[in-house]
Amino acid sequence: MPNRFWMIVWLVLAAGAILLLLTADAVAPFEDWRFLFAGIIALITLAGTLPTRARVMIAMPLRLLRTLPNVYWLSILIVISIGIGLWLEPYQPTYGRALKTIEYAYILSLLWLLAGLLAYDLDGERGATMAARLGKSRLTGVSILLTTFVILFFAAEAYLRIFYITTDSYGFTAMNYHWYANFYWGKFNSLGFRDYEPKPDPDGVLTRIAVVGDSFVVGHGIPDLDQSFPQMLERDLGSDTDVLVIADSGWDSDVETSRLDQYPIRPNIVILSYYLNDVDYLLQDPAASPDANFDFIENETLAWFVLQFFVPNYIYYNLVQFSSPIRARNFITDLVDAHLDDSLWQRHTPNLRAIVDWTRQHDARLIVLVWPHLAAIEATRPATARVRAFFEDAGVEVVDMTDILTGQNPSDLIVNRFDAHPGIAAHRFAADALAAQILETQLETQIEEAGS
């Protein structure tokens, strides 16, 4: 490596890689090999820098490769592709997750290797000879095409990992998984919920409101917890109110009352957030499940590739699956049909009645927040109407988002074009409607008490 600049770059990369390899925490999959890698980098760098016969031995395979420029070019592409792949597959770097020290060590090691492949023992004369041979070779066009593909693939991979860590409606995609890993799992309070710690009693808390539900309550797709409707509602009602989140993604009506009963704090008001997939626990037959409208990859190798890399994952699940209007329409139809099926409804209502009974036994006020499918409000109205009628017949207050959101632009209400969960605007509508319902009834109660 006669060029002094590249020699310095190579030495700096080697020193950085060795230092990080020796100081990094033992994290799989390189925990058993990091000291070996550090030793190999140190030996090769010393041998390639010091004036010894080893420099000739290191340069020999590179000189041989450079006599076949397209093979040399292809070798570098393979090293880049495999090297980046060996980083992405085990560690899955994404926006919202800080890189580990071992990852920085690996990146510097890869850059050290590439710098050596590209510049070691390469002077102007050898470079000109390679360029002349490439210009005459018919394979150069293929090399350019492959290089373009590699650049575009990893550029798209980087874009999705940085700018598209978000959710989808059904929880199928790698992006959805990493959104939960980065912004949901592990971000719980001491009670195990995506919420702040309950306010202690001495702080002047007069009203405790428990919001029970599923992904709509926890703010699926919204990284900032404060932008979810339970937190907005707490701010709207003032410092003497504590809004408690008792919810988790995937909960259905069969578990919500028991989770409420297990919560260590008894609320004055319970808000049940109801969405149409709360009936999913009754749709366990694969043929009846709404998820049956989507195809999943059966080939294990292809499924692994689609799961580990964001570009094929985005293409397969987002563009092929979710963009199909037939699949989405069938999914919504299945949820509506499940609510209109009398036999299923009879099996479902005992769990709805259970939370009504619980609130009455514990002298708590119950408000049911009913959500339609935000991208198909009118199509799901028959189902939300049946849910609303059930609770109103039971003497329960209902805030029906079907009416509130009718006429709004669906794209303004949802998280993104592939996720029909409530976005920030829809959470704002819900918080406003609930605050109005709570304050209106409280005012009526105060007037009645003053009159008596």
Q: Give residues with Cβ within 8 angstroms of 303, minimum separation 6.
A: 296, 297
pLDDT of residue 145 exceeding 90, the answer is yes
Tokens of 327: 């699949």
The arithmetic mean of pLDDT across residues 313-336, rounded, is 79
With bands split at pLDDT 50, 70 and 90, how would you rate the model's confidence at 234? very high
Using alpha carbons, select from 421, 380, 365 the residue that is nearest to residue 218.
421
Q: What would the mean pLDDT of 368-385 be, rounded to a whole number?
A: 96
Digit-coded pLDDT (tens) for 148-178? 999 999 999 999 999 999 999 888 899 999 9
pLDDT at 147: 96
Query: What are the residue boundaries of the structural domains of the chain, listed by start?
Result: 4-163, 174-451
Per the omega criterion (within 30 degrees of 0), is the bond before 29 cis?
A: yes
* Residue 56: predicted pLDDT: 80
Is pLDDT of 336 > 60? yes
- Above 60 in pLDDT, residue 82? yes
Percent of all residues in the chain with a pLDDT value above 90, rounded to a whole number: 69
Cβ–Cβ under 8 Å, residues 210 and 269: yes
Contacts of 25 (CB under 8 A, 6+ apart): 100, 101, 102
CATH superfamily of 174-451: SGNH hydrolase (3.40.50.1110)
pLDDT mean across residues, the chain? 90
Give 346-364 pLDDT, tens digit per residue.
999 999 999 999 999 999 9
The pLDDT tens digits for 268-320 are: 999 999 999 999 999 877 655 566 666 778 889 998 999 999 999 999 888 87
Cα torsion for 329, 330, 331, 334, to the nearest 10°?
A: 120
- Report the distance separating Cα 374 and Cα 332, nearest Å: 11
Structure tokens at 235: 């701010």
Query: Residue 127: its pLDDT value, please?
Result: 85
Between residues 32 and 260, the one the model is more confident about: 260
What phi, psi does 139 have (nearest 5°)?
A: -80, -10
Distance CA 88, CA 366 (A): 48
Edge to edge, the sheet with strand 365-370 lists: 241-247, 207-213, 269-274, 365-370, 397-400
* pLDDT of 227 above 80: yes
pLDDT of residue 447 exceeding 80, the answer is no
pLDDT in tens, 88-130: 999 999 999 999 998 999 999 999 999 999 988 888 888 899 8
pLDDT tens track for 67-80: 999 999 999 999 99
Average pLDDT over residues 217-227: 96
Question: 16 Cβ partners below 8 Å, 6+ apart?
Answer: 108
Report, as an integer, the average pLDDT of 322-329: 65
Residue 382, pLDDT score: 97
Lowest model confidence (mean pLDDT) among 36-50, 137-151, 184-198: 36-50
**How many residues are given for the chain?**
452
Between 325-340 and 342-361, two packed helices, what is the crossing angle to 10 degrees? 70
Residue 380 DSSP code: T
- Residue pair 380/402 in contact (Cβ under 8 Å)? The answer is yes
